[in-house]
Amino acid sequence: MLPVARAALNLTARGIQRTAVRQTHRKYEPDFHDKYGNMVLIGGAVVFTAVWGYVLTQAGIEWGLSPVGRVTPKEWKE
């Protein structure tokens, strides 16, 4: 290996080691997702369930998914 390449790899490895050491000594502080992530997810699931529960039961929509017996052919026009 060339001396220049070896020196460059050595510098890169030292930089990675310093970053790793710096991150391990840092005190861990929870961010927004750590604090509120599960509550936001549960809240969204509750709202989703409530809205679809209303739509399916109270909105008065007729959910006729099958046209069998309801669709009749029109008379042929010549």
- Mind listing the pLDDT tens digit for each residue in 6-32? 766 665 667 777 776 666 666 678 888
The pLDDT of 56-78, averaged and rounded, is 76
Tokens of 69: 């017996």
Predicted pLDDT of residue 25: 61
Tokens of 18: 């310093």
Amino acid (one-letter) located at 51: V
How far apart CA 56 and CA 65 sit, in angstroms, is: 14
How far apart CA 70 and CA 49 sit, in angstroms, is: 31
**Other Cβ atoms closer than 10 A to 72:** 5
CB 55 within 8 A of CB 61: yes
Model pTM?
0.44
